[in-house]
Amino acid sequence: MSRARAIVGIASGRRTKWAVLAFWLIIAVVAGPLSGKLNGAEKNDASSWLPAKAESTKVLDIQSRFQSPNIFTGVIVYDRPSGLTSADRVKAAADARQFATVSGVVHGQVAGPFFAKDGKAVETIVPINLGAKGWNGASTAATKLRVIADAHANGLTSHITGPLGSAADSANSFKGIDGILLIATLIVVITLLLITYRSPVLWLLPVISAGIALISAETLVYLLAKHAGLTVNAQSAGILLVLVFGAGTDYALLLTARYREELRRHEDRHEAMAVAIRRAGPAIIASAGTVIVSLLTLTIAQLNSTKSLGPVLAIGVGVALLAMMTLLPALLVIFGRWMFWPVKPAYGTEEPTTKGIWARVGRHIAVRPRLVWVVTAVILGVMALGLTGLKASGLTTAESFRTRPDSVVGQTVVDQNFPAGAGQPVVVIGNEPQAAQLLSAFKATPGITGVIGPVDKVGHAYLQGTLTTAPDSQAAYNTIDRVRDAVHAVPGANALVGGNTAVNLDIQRAAAHDRKVIIPFILVVVFLILGLLLRAVIAPIMLIATVVLSFAAALGVSALVFDHVFNFGGADTSFPLFVFVFLVALGIDYNIFLMTRVREEVGKHGPHRGALTGLAATGGVITSAGAVLAGTFGALATLPVTFLAELGFAVAFGVLLDTIIVRSVLVTALNLDLGRWVWWPSKLSRQSNPDLDHLEEPSVVS
């Protein structure tokens, strides 16, 4: 820690500050062009999201031996509510022949047109190989098919659905995500920094530092994805942007607040920054370290999309920390006190936090601390009851979008007129000698119709069947389980069941497994870090308990809002884990900053006065940091993707709840009630310097 402090302390040097600035400017110039290439390095194909050992993943591996893993099936469906005309039927047949000529369409595998029994709809199934672009090329391919389907329609409506249509609409939802998120995030950060600093110019320095940190992080992620096998997808790239700005601005607020304090105590701004780094630096570094370690625990996940998210975001937080502990201090020292205009922290003046709102809140809490923490805990417990209504069992394709894209409309038409699973078959692969038994078992499974095969594929029996229920429904998932039970029972077949529905089922189960394993693991890691940092046992237990209660309350309220305000159909299976990781990891940030300051003050003034002084000194900046972080995550709600909107709301609400209520009120009340026992078994728990007047107005002392 001392070595890290020495390194970041270079930023406050009279000469070295210029070297730090030059270093980051060079980084920005070099990294700028490379950061823009991150989108091109994204892997959005199925294998980059699936659990590596899942049965559906093994099916994809076998299929890749005889066909490209990037084949997406498009279902082109036409409908005319008044009934198809003879011209409509001729057009559908002509379009099917033209679809076969489109670049990438698998030769000889265009199926249809198939006419609905009621004579109102027709569908054609078109497998198309998207090649190296994978998911990223779905939108272009769907557009080519749509041009053909829409031509000379004469009132016949057409839609592109199936896996290709869904992938195209998902890609379109993420299209421009960086630009939209960046603009929304900048607006939020700048607005909140203007309110926090009450300065028309000071906000520029954290924003510039965060911007350079983002460019640097994206470049590093791109280089690792391109040359070291790091997996990044559209989801992790979007969250990376939000997290770098959110966490980076948090660290900027925490450091700037301490620097402003020290400017009132030190005439020389270089000395003031050196002291600020020495005092606040360890807490900020420990906070970021805790976030990084917590994120890296995601690498033990079964789900590839979760496993890859951890390293990408950990890199972002690490780069943000480095920028805020080197570039930002250098800029602050270079520009001097005038950046705080119009309220410049003059040397020798009193620190305003001594008489601020959090100093007054602390005095009120100190009157009856036990009553305060008991009532607060009960209220949070009641909020957590909403958890009983959380439906985190996965989202259907329609529920995954906040809008109603073409693939969802098209799937509705398919469901109304054709077998529900058309275009998204269940795939069975087994040993070729047992092909006949596999066929019998597959056909006999309830929920399966229209079995095709077996066909010999590289020594394997290959069969396809159509689901009788919607492919993203629970009934379809139950059918997959029945198919697996049936074909696994065929002796010597070594059968595997895959297809899109099986993929979604395996993702759900992997996500449930990851929740059960990773959440306890993170709690243990955080407890150990807090114990080492605070050199106590009771304090980490207390803080972990408040974090878990805060998480439960945030999730409970989110569940109620999703059901009764936003009318979302449910939540993604990874939703609880992601919310937990962000709320616990980032919530610990505020715990560490508060409790390290309280510990510093307890050593000077005793537990009661120390708790009040720590709150008075950090309450404002912690609340401001929480507002910025909540605002940046709230920017995710601007996207038309349900999962990201839910994640943004839950994290934003949870961070505000944590900073305003849990960290500042509940933890302070517990500190006051437990007194010196909070620090057991360290020497602070045995100090014989009790507060003689702990209700006295706290002062912020160096």
Q: What is the pLDDT of residues 523-562, one digit of tens each?
A: 888 888 888 888 889 989 999 899 889 999 999 999 998 8
Of 254-268, 362-376, 479-493, the poorest mean pLDDT is in 254-268
- H-helix or E-strand spanning residue 122: strand 121-129
Nearest to 669 by CA among 316, 361, 357: 361
The answer to whether residues 24 and 324 touch, using CB atoms and an 8 Å cutoff, is no
Q: Which amino acid is at 21?
A: L
Can you say how many angstroms the Cα of residue 486 is from the centroid of all Cα atoms in its chain?
38
CA distance 576 to 436: 44
Residue 694 pLDDT exceeds 60 = no
Can you say how many angstroms the Cα of residue 235 is from the centroid of all Cα atoms in its chain?
7
Residue 606 phi/psi, 5° resolution? 95, 170
The answer to whether residues 68 and 131 touch, using CB atoms and an 8 Å cutoff, is yes
Q: How many CB atoms lie within 10 A of CB 232?
A: 26
CA distances to 53, 89, 90 from 121, rounded to whole Å, are 40, 10, 13
Tell me if residue 445 falls in helix, strand or coil.
coil
pLDDT in tens, 106-127: 888 888 898 988 889 999 999 8
CA angle 673, 677, 679 (to 5 degrees): 115
What is the token pair recorded at 154?
């004469």
Mean pLDDT of 638-661: 86
CA distances to 43, 437, 470, 554 from 133, rounded to whole Å, are 9, 38, 28, 38
- H-helix or E-strand spanning residue 318: helix 304-335
The answer to whether residues 410 and 161 touch, using CB atoms and an 8 Å cutoff, is yes
What is the token pair recorded at 83?
């009934």
Mean pLDDT of 67-85: 86
CA angle 579, 585, 589 (to 5 degrees): 130
CA distance 471 to 425: 9
Nearest to 200 by CA among 344, 12, 21: 344
**Which residue did the predictor score with more confidence, 344 or 326?**
326
pLDDT in tens, 658-677: 888 888 899 999 988 888 88
Q: What is the DSSP letter of 660?
A: I
pLDDT in tens, 282-323: 888 888 888 898 889 888 888 877 888 889 999 999 999 999
CA angle 465, 468, 474 (to 5 degrees): 105
What is the token pair recorded at 303?
């789900």
The answer to whether residues 696 and 688 touch, using CB atoms and an 8 Å cutoff, is no
Confidence grade of residue 693 (pLDDT, cut at 50, 70, 90): very low
pLDDT in tens, 488-523: 999 999 999 998 889 888 888 888 888 889 988 888
Tell me if residue 155 falls in helix, strand or coil.
coil
Helices (H), 354-499: 357-367, 369-384, 406-417, 435-443, 474-488
Helices (H), 64-203: 86-99, 138-150, 162-174, 177-197
The answer to whether residues 72 and 134 touch, using CB atoms and an 8 Å cutoff, is no
CA distance 681 to 152: 81
pLDDT in tens, 427-456: 999 998 999 999 999 999 999 988 887 888
Can you say how many angstroms the Cα of residue 359 is from the centroid of all Cα atoms in its chain?
35
Can you say how many angstroms the Cα of residue 177 is from the centroid of all Cα atoms in its chain?
14
The answer to whether residues 249 and 208 touch, using CB atoms and an 8 Å cutoff, is no
Q: How many CB atoms lie within 10 A of CB 33?
A: 10
- H-helix or E-strand spanning residue 465: strand 460-467
Give residue 108's pLDDT: 80
Domains and their CATH numbers in the chain: 1-51+176-349 (1.20.1640.10), 70-173 (3.30.70.1440), 368-403+532-702 (1.20.1640.10), 425-498 (3.30.70)
Residue 701 pLDDT exceeds 50 = no
- Exposure on the CB side of residue 323, measured as CA atoms within 13 A: 30
Residue 355 pLDDT exceeds 70 = no
Give residue 209's pLDDT: 93
CA distance 83 to 115: 11
Give the dihedral sign, CA 280/285/286/290.
positive
What is the token pair recorded at 482?
């029945």
The answer to whether residues 344 and 338 touch, using CB atoms and an 8 Å cutoff, is yes
Dmax over CA atoms of the chain, in Å, equals: 96
- Exposure on the CB side of residue 481, measured as CA atoms within 13 A: 8
CA distance 563 to 65: 44
CA distances to 36, 68, 204, 241 from 244, rounded to whole Å, are 16, 36, 16, 5
Tell me if residue 128 falls in helix, strand or coil.
strand
Give residue 314's pLDDT: 92
Instruction: Provide, rounded to the nearest whole percent, the portion of the chain with pLDDT above 90.
Output: 22
Mean pLDDT of 633-659: 84
Most confident option among 40-44, 379-383, 412-416, 679-683: 379-383
Give me the count of residues in the chain. Answer: 702
**Which residue did the predictor score with more confidence, 642 or 636?**
642
Nearest to 214 by CA among 394, 473, 335, 34: 34
CA distance 445 to 337: 76
Instruction: Provide, rounded to the nearest whole percent, the portion of the chain with pLDDT above 70.
Output: 91
CA distance 329 to 11: 6
